[in-house]
């Protein structure tokens, strides 16, 4: 259940579309603003640390120098206190904005520049440690001060520690300096970030604009204005997309044209037999007392026209079926020899009627992937044409051959041939070289275009070699294995 819910949520997420501007803008922020803010933070922190460290070292050095001076002057042991040295200690404490305290061996404070705790006892940890020979620094960053100690020695050879100089310095002024620097830098970061965000918005809008223009053109195309020129050449990518759209558009336009042409042709072809029937019927009706023989003759003509009409409809239906999709192919392993032989057998009576000899030559046994019905129709069309457009006493030779990849069916005839300049056109729907002759033989002009469609559906090719008055050879080449 939980898994399903998660999947649903994921699907929903996938379905949601986001504007291209969003990731672009996010990328801009991530690459521009974020590093700047982070760098500002890190630099601020390390600046604060180095400033305080510097002050600690400075105070420590000064403290050591002072304690050395106090040791040499015998500050701790002198019967009366050296006023000059006292003054110096006050000055140093003022310079560091701090406080200097001198503690003797009994932990008694003998000097305090703040004059608050003279005579009191100081047993703080840094002082204790210093008497034990350990110099320590006490840092209280939170409370904005630090304390350093330095030992004061007696003037004997053994250099005994007889006092401790404790310097407490404030970091307040340093921190206020650091804060003002940080404030300036923060102001800079905020201003720069704002500029970057504005620049990001502007750049994102500019970047996406060509794509939007493309979309507007496409919308107009979708609304039906195919004549609209699509050219957005700002980027190489949009240029390529525009070119691809232009190509698709040209294809659509040509399809549109050929559809219109096809509909016009179909209506014309369907109308012709109907017009003939109407003329025949009208003339019969216009005749008073027409003899029965005439009736019979006209009726037989009408029957012929109906046959023609029905053949056109049949051919059109085959063509429409072929146009649908490759998935309509019912591919099985077919013995092509048997298929060709059966087709020829069916056409034998027509050939005999026209006194045309049908010859079959099989160079090798061929089994291939094919749609039996459709392929048979294609071969049948070729052989039928070879018989129809032949001369009395002529021949038709069908040859079957194959190599490791393809099988070849060659239909050659000794017929009237096809003029070179129209050889490409014969595969077009309704195209006939000699309209009168085709009509005479019951042709619809659709046979070769059906054949070509079948061959293309099998991923094959068809080729025509012909010479007027000498004959024609149609060669079909189809792969032995059908790749889905
Ligand atoms: P049709 O139904 O008119 O035969 P096709 O599409 O089969 O239509 O053929 C188109 C035209 O090509 C035919 O009208 C004919 O003029 C020409 N043609 C086809 N096959 C041959 C052939 N073997 N010899 C001569 N002309 C041919």
How does pLDDT run across 200-225, given as a tens digit for each residue?
A: 899 999 999 999 988 888 888 888 77
CA distance 333 to 339: 11
Number of the ligand 1 atom closest to the C-alpha atom of 429: 6
When pLDDT is averaged across residues 248-274 and rounded to a whole number, the result is 84
**CA of 279 relative to ligand 1 center, distance in Å:** 28
Mean pLDDT in the chain? 88
**Residue 299 banded pLDDT, cuts 50, 70, 90:** very high
Residue 1 has pLDDT above 60, yes or no: no
Residue 47 has pLDDT above 70, yes or no: yes
Query: Phi-psi category of 150—alpha, beta or left, where left has phi over 0 and alpha has psi -120 to 50?
Result: beta
Q: What is the pLDDT of residues 111-170, one digit of tens each?
A: 999 999 899 999 998 999 999 988 888 888 788 889 999 999 988 888 899 999 999 998
Q: Is the CB of 418 under 6 A from ligand 1?
A: yes
**CA distances in angstroms from 15 to 11, 19, 173, 207, listed in the order given:** 6, 13, 59, 24
Sequence-ordered alpha helix ranges (H) in 287-335: 292-324
**CA of 442 relative to ligand 1 center, distance in Å:** 11
**CA of 423 relative to ligand 1 center, distance in Å:** 10
Number of the ligand 1 atom closest to the C-alpha atom of 416: 25
Q: Is the CB of 60 under 6 A from ligand 1?
A: no
How much of the chain, in percent, has pLDDT values that exceed 70? 95
Q: Is the CB of 472 under 6 A from ligand 1?
A: yes
Residue 6: what pLDDT? 61
Residue 448: what pLDDT? 94
CA-CA-CA-CA torsion sign (333, 339, 433, 301): negative
**Residue 252 banded pLDDT, cuts 50, 70, 90:** confident
Q: Which domains, ranges and CATH numbers included, belong to the chain?
A: 25-177 (3.30.450.20), 229-323 (1.10.287.130), 326-479 (3.30.565.10)
Residue 78: what pLDDT? 79
**Residue 266 banded pLDDT, cuts 50, 70, 90:** confident
Residues in the chain: 484
Q: Is the CB of 66 under 6 A from ligand 1?
A: no
When pLDDT is averaged across residues 59-78 and rounded to a whole number, the result is 90
Q: Report how far apart the first and last C-alpha atoms of the chain are (Å, whole number).
A: 39
**Residue 60 banded pLDDT, cuts 50, 70, 90:** very high
Residue 5 has pLDDT above 70, yes or no: no
Residue 175: what pLDDT? 82
CA distance 27 to 16: 20
SS3 at position 416? coil
Q: Whose CA is nearest to atom 11 of ligand 1?
A: 432
Q: Is the CB of 438 under 6 A from ligand 1?
A: yes
Contact between 397 and 372 (Cβ < 8 Å):
no
Number of the ligand 1 atom closest to the C-alpha atom of 434: 16
**Residue 327 banded pLDDT, cuts 50, 70, 90:** low
Q: Whose CA is nearest to atom 2 of ligand 1?
A: 443
Residue 325 has pLDDT above 60, yes or no: no
Residue 326: what pLDDT? 52
Q: Is the CB of 336 under 6 A from ligand 1?
A: no
Residue 226 has pLDDT above 70, yes or no: yes
CA distance 49 to 45: 6
Q: What is the pLDDT of residues 417-471, one digit of tens each?
A: 999 999 999 998 888 888 776 666 667 888 999 899 999 999 999 999 999 999 9
Residue 410: what pLDDT? 97
Q: At what angle do helices 447-457 and 372-388 cross, to 10 degrees?
A: 150
Number of the ligand 1 atom closest to the C-alpha atom of 444: 2
Dihedral angle computed from the Cα positions of residues 238, 239, 243 and 244, in that order, rounded to the nearest 10 degrees: -30
Q: Which of 309, 356, 432 has the most ligand 1 atoms within 8 A of CB, as the residue to mutate?
A: 432
**Residue 338 banded pLDDT, cuts 50, 70, 90:** very high
Residue 401: what pLDDT? 96
**CA of 475 relative to ligand 1 center, distance in Å:** 15
When pLDDT is averaged across residues 85-97 and rounded to a whole number, the result is 90
Residue 100 has pLDDT above 90, yes or no: yes
Q: What is the pLDDT of residues 184-204, one digit of tens each?
A: 888 998 999 899 889 989 999
Residue 340 has pLDDT above 90, yes or no: yes
């Amino acid at each position: 259940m939980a898994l399903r819910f998660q999947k649903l949520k994921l699907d929903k997420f996938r379905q949601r579309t986001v504007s291209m501007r969003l990731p672009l803008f996010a990328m801009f922020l991530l690459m521009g603003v974020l590093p700047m803010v982070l760098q500002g933070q890190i630099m601020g922190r390390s600046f604060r640390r180095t400033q305080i460290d510097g002050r600690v070292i400075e105070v420590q050095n000064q403290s050591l120098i002072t304690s050395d001076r106090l040791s040499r002057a015998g500050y701790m042991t002198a019967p009366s206190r050296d006023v000059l040295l006292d003054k110096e200690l006050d000055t140093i404490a003022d310079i560091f904005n701090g406080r200097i305290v001198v503690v003797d061996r009994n932990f008694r404070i003998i000097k305090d520049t703040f004059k608050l705790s003279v005579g009191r006892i100081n047993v703080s940890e840094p002082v204790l440690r210093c008497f034990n020979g350990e110099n320590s620094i006490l840092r209280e960053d939170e409370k904005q001060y630090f304390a350093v100690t330095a030992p004061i020695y007696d003037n004997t050879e053994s250099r005994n520690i007889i006092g401790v100089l404790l310097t407490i310095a404030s970091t307040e002024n340093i921190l206020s300096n650091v804060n003002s620097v940080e404030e300036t830098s923060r102001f800079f970061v905020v201003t720069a970030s704002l500029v970057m965000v504005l620049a990001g918005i502007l750049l994102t809008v500019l970047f996406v604009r060509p794509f939007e223009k493309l979309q507007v053109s496409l919308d107009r195309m979708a609304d039906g204005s195919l004549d609209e020129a699509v050219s957005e050449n700002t980027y190489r990518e949009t240029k390529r997309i525009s070119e691809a759209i232009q190509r698709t558009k040209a294809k659509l336009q040509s399809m549109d044209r050929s559809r219109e042409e096809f509909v016009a042709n179909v209506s014309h072809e369907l109308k012709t037999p109907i017009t003939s029937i109407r003329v025949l019927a009208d003339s019969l009706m216009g005749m008073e007392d027409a003899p029965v023989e005439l009736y019979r003759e006209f009726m037989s003509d009408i029957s012929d026209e109906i046959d023609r009409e029905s053949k056109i409809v049949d051919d059109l239906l085959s063509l429409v079926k072929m146009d649908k999709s490759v998935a309509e192919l019912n591919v099985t392993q077919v013995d092509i020899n048997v298929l060709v032989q059966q087709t020829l057998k069916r056409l034998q009576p027509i050939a005999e009627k026209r006194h045309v000899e049908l010859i079959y030559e099989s160079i090798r046994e061929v089994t291939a992937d094919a749609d039996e019905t459709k392929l048979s129709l294609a071969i049948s069309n070729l052989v039928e044409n070879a018989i129809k457009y032949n001369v009395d006493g002529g021949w038709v030779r069908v040859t079957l051959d194959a190599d490791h990849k393809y099988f070849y069916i060659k239909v050659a005839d000794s017929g009237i041939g096809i003029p070179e300049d129209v050889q490409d056109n014969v595969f077009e729907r309704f195209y006939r070289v000699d309209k009168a002759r085709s009509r005479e033989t019951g042709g619809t002009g659709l046979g070769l275009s059906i054949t070509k469609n079948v061959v293309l559906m099998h991923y094959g090719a068809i080729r025509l070699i012909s010479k007027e008055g000498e004959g024609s050879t149609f060669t079909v080449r189809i792969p032995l294995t059908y790749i889905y």
